[in-house]
Amino acid sequence: MANIGDELERRWTRTENRSSLRDLADYFNRQVLRTAFESAGEDPLDGEVENLYRLLTDDETTSGVRQQARNRLEDRGVDVDSLESNFVSYQSIRTYLKQYRDATPPEKQDRSRTQLERKRATIQRLTNRLVQVTEQSLTELANASRITLGEFSVVVAVRVHCSDCDTQQSVTDLLTNGGCACEE
């Protein structure tokens, strides 16, 4: 399931034929099922994974048919309980895409924000968070008399060094300048 994160993000953020979060959860879960098949040494037939997934998850599937699907998987060496515990909800996909991949669907993207601006904002949020965590940690240590510290401020400076052109600059300057001196 290599690059599944890239595929989920691509399907959610494309402007045409965009996948919903529920569609993405189903897609991911079918990939989990396919991987379980392959790990059991099975080569699923065309459409077999999709059909078995439907039989395992569709509310309109009868319990008898669902049990037959489970039995078929178990007969092929798939641990169905473990498999189903690895299935995710659309909320999990949403959290993953928004919080871990910093992705937004196209209708929510500010059309004037470029990828560069989004990355700059991500770096700035992380920098601000680092300052906040550091300040909080130092204050707690000082209040607990674990360190001695007067009035203080935390300064975080993220700098980028390019060994090719031997330049160094802040991330903000690098992004504003459109890169380093390598192109010059």
Lowest mean pLDDT among 33-47, 114-128, 150-164: 114-128
- For 25, how many CA atoms within 13 A lie in the half-sphere containing its CB? 17
110 pLDDT exceeds 80? no
Cα(63)–Cα(71) distance, rounded to whole angstroms?
Answer: 12
pLDDT of residue 174: 87
- Mean pLDDT value across residues 142-171: 92
Name the H helices within 76-156: 80-85, 90-95, 115-143
pTM of whole model > 0.75? no
Mean pLDDT over all residues of the chain?
A: 89
Beta strand pairing call for 167-170 and 159-162:
antiparallel
50, 30 contact by CB (below 8 A): yes
pLDDT of residue 86: 95
Name the H helices within the chain: 4-13, 21-39, 48-57, 63-75, 80-85, 90-95, 115-143, 171-177
For residues 174 and 2, the model is more confident at 174
pLDDT of residue 176: 81
pLDDT of residue 29: 96
pLDDT above 70 covers a percentage of the chain that reads: 94
- Give the phi and the psi of residue 86 in degrees, each rounded to 5: -90, -5
- Mean pLDDT value across residues 39-48: 91
pLDDT of residue 81: 94
- Mean pLDDT value across residues 136-143: 94
pLDDT of residue 135: 93
pLDDT of residue 112: 43
- Give the phi and the psi of residue 125 in degrees, each rounded to 5: -60, -45
CA distances from 152 to 71, 126, 146 (A): 65, 20, 16
pLDDT of residue 106: 79
- Mean pLDDT value across residues 25-53: 93
